[in-house]
Copies of this chain bind each other. A is one copy, B any other.
Amino acid sequence: MKKLMQISLAGILALSFSTAVYASSDDPMEKAAEYRHDVFEVLAWHFGKMGAMIKGKVEFDKDDFATRANYVAALSAMPWEGFVEGSQGDSDSKAEIWTDKETFDNGAKMLQEKVAALVKAAESAEKVDDVKPAFMDTAKLCKGCHKKFKKD
């Protein structure tokens, strides 16, 4: 029974997930780089939609903003395990991520703190000005870290 379950599970995982995970590469370093990139893409999707409300391009919806802030909080914990030593390759990552790991790790920690503050502001917000400072604070941190650690 145990063996049957394992075979069945292997089949399920193969059918359900292998295509997605191994779509571009079987190389663990490339997979790690893809993974962290995908996390940032999803994070950027939500942060971008929050930014549109901040900029007044889209009407401020406090529930939608708070939902996305919580998504960003969950996502902000995820990318770091993808920054595996040796996985720079031709990704957008600069070598400084690994040569100045202390600063990088500190930035990662600060992001999670800034986003926690953004969630807190979002969950009690009534109008866009209530979330603007915490949003700007997070955006500035993103910019600073990207300048130091991301190509382009």
Contact = CB atoms under 8 A, between A and B. Distances in A.
Given A9-B55, A9-B136, A35-B45, A143 B15 contact: yes
Interface of A: 5-6, 8-10, 12-13, 15-17, 19-21, 23, 34-35, 37-42, 44-45, 47-48, 51, 54-56, 70-71, 74-75, 77-78, 132, 136, 139-140, 142-143, 146-147, 152
Protomer copies: 2
Contacts of A21: 41, 44-45, 48
Contacts of A5: 132, 136
A34 to B, nearest CB: 7
Contacts of A74: 70-71, 74-75
11 contacts: A5-B132, A9-B51, A9-B54, A9-B139, A10-B55, A12-B139, A20-B37, A20-B41, A20-B44, A35-B45, A70-B74
Query: Which one of A13, A21, A51 has the highest number of Cβ atoms from chain B below 10 Å of its Cβ?
Result: A13
